[in-house]
Chains A and B, each alone.
Chain A
C-alpha cells in the first residue's frame, strides 16, 4: 500500500528582518522549505545563521516580515489570537537550556498541567494527574517527580520535563532547539534516544536545529544547511554528508573534528569569519569566503536548484554534480 506523505510545513519566500541602528538584520532571508509528515528534519548552521529565528517565525512566536507559512496545507501566515491557539496545539518547541526553560516558581505538575488546561485536554484534576503521570513515565521519570521544583531536578531531568511539556499538547510537529547542547555527553545520548523512541510512540514529526553536525547526522532523515539567513543545501542526510556539494557545506563538514586520531582536519577548511546578518553582502552571501567565487556570485543571489540525486543546492557553480 502506498502511503501518501503529506507536507506538514511549507514556507514560501519566508523573510524575517529586524530593524537595527546599523541597518536591517536579515535573520531569515527568503527561505523555501518543505517538511514531510513523519520525518526528522535537521537544520544545521553556525551561530547567527538564523536557524533559531526561522523556527520561531514558523511557530508564529515572531511575526514574519514577508512570505508565507503553511501548516497542513493551510496558510497560517496571518493567524492571530484565537487561531494561534490552534497552532499552539499542533506545533510545540523544546528549548535549549533546561536551566532557564522551566518556570522556577512552578512545580513539575504546574508546568505540565498548564498546556493541558489551556487546551482543555483534561476535564478535571484527576484526569490531569493521570495524563501527567503518563507523560512522566514516558520520560522515564516517577510520579513523585510531580511535586518537585526545577531547582530540585538535575539538568537531564529538567530537559525531560521540557520535552514532556512539548508533548503535553499532543502536537503533530515538535521543534527541538539544540535540545542537548547544555547537557553532559552521557546524558545527551539518553535524551536523544528518548526523543527517538517518543517520536515512534506518538507518531510525530521532528524539526531539529543544531550547530552540532554530528548530532544532526545521527538523528535526521533529511537535513538543511543554513548560512546567513538562507538554506544553501537541502536533501537526504547520507547523501549530503558523504558528498557535500555547496562550498559552505563542504567547508563546514570538513571543519568538524572526528573522534578518530587517524582522521585529522586538513588545514583551515573555512577561512574568514562568521559574518553578521546585518547588511549582508549583495549576491551570494557566501561569496566573500568562497574559494570558488565567480563574477556572477557577487551580483546575483543563487536560488535552490534541484539536482539529479534529489537534493537542492543554491550555488552558481556550473559543474555541480
Chain B
C-alpha cells in the first residue's frame, strides 16, 4: 500500500499571551492511498491543528518546531505559501470544515462558487462549466441539481451545504480530502445521509480521506484505519476493527469503553479519571500518565514512542 501522506514527528507550538502552547508534540501517522483514515481525539487534543498544519493554514502565532509532512515524496513544511497555494491546496489536498455556513460565500450562487473552484484548474466555456458543476453536484447525490445552481447558501439546509462543500472540493479533483468534524453540526439523520455520500464516493472514485472527529461511532462507520490522539501526540495507530475489538493503549481502551452506545447500562460505562491537561504546561513524559492507572516512573519521565505490536498496529506506551 503506497503512502499518500506521511506525518513524521510533527511539532507545532503556539505563542499566546499566557505562554507557549505545545499543541502538537510529535505527531506520527501515515495515510494509505485510497483509505479513509480517522483521526480521533477529544476537544483540545490537537486534531484540528494537525489538519490545518498539512495545508499550512495555521494562524500567525503558530511555530512549526519540527517534523516533516511528506506528501507524495515532498515535504510540505519546506514549501512556501505561494507553492502551497499554487501546487497543493485544492488540486492536491482539499479541506472541509465543521460549519458549512461560514465556509460558503453568502453572496455567490452555488453555481458560481463551484465554478470558481473549477476555473482554477481548467479553462472551459460557460456551458461546459455548468455541466461540470452539475456533474459534481450529482456525485454528492443532491436532489434537484438544476434548481440548486442559482440558489444562495442561505437557502440551503446545513446538510445540503455540507454536500455542496464536498462537491466544491471534488471539483478540484484532489487526491486527499481532509474533513474536520464535518457532521458535528448536523442532525443524526442528515449525518447518515452525508456518511452515505462519502461511502459512495469512496467506492466510485477511490478517494483518500483524513476524517477528523471526536465521534467514535462515526469512525467505526466509515473509517478503515484510525489514529488515536491525546494531548498533542498519537497514542495508537490501528485498523478500525482492531481498535474496537482490542484497544491496546490505556487511553484508547477507556475511550472505546466509555462511549455511549457501547453499553446499555450506565454503570458499565468506563470513566477516565481527571481531565484533559492544559497544553501550556503539559505533563512530562507520557502526557496521559496523570490519568493512567498503570503509570510508573518511566511514564513520567520518558516520552513513549510508537512501536509495532501487531499487523499494522502501533502503540505508544511503556506498559505495553
Contact = CB atoms under 8 A, between A and B. Distances in A.
A–B contact via C-beta, under 8 angstroms: yes
Contact of A268 (B193, B256, B272): B193
A258 B219 CA distance: 9
A193 interface: yes
B264 A273 contact: no
Contacts of A217: 260-261, 264
A212 to B, nearest CB: 7
Interface in B207-233: 214-218, 220-221
A270 B214 CA distance: 24
Contact of B244 (A187, A211, A219, A259): A259
Nearest to B183: A257
Contact of A258 (B188, B193, B220): B220
Contacts of A281: none
B42 A269 contact: no
A295 interface: no
Contact of B218 (A156, A212, A257, A274): A257
A193 B265 CA distance: 10
A257 B38 CA distance: 15
B149 interface: no
Interface in B227-275: 240-241, 244, 254-256, 258-267, 269-272, 275
Contact of B220 (A251, A254, A259, A274): A259
A66 interface: no
A47 B256 CA distance: 27
A274 B189 contact: yes
Contacts of A273: 157, 159-160, 190
B39 to A, nearest CB: 15
Contact of A213 (B188, B256, B258): B188
A264 B276 CA distance: 31
Nearest to B254: A186
Nearest to A180: B260
Given A186-B272, A215-B260, A218-B266, A259 B187 contact: no
A264 B196 CA distance: 11
A251 B261 contact: no
Interface size for chain B: under 10, 10 to 19, 20 to 34, or 35 or more residues? 35 or more
A152 to B, nearest CB: 13
B173 interface: no
A318 interface: no
B189 A257 contact: no
A114 interface: no
Interface string B189-205: 11111011000000000
B43 interface: yes
Given A184-B276, A265-B192, A273-B159, A257 B217 contact: yes
A189 B189 contact: no
Interface string A195-239: 010000000000000011111011100000000000000000000
A290 interface: no
B266 A193 contact: yes
10 contacts: A156-B275, A184-B276, A185-B214, A188-B260, A218-B264, A218-B269, A256-B217, A256-B261, A257-B191, A274-B189
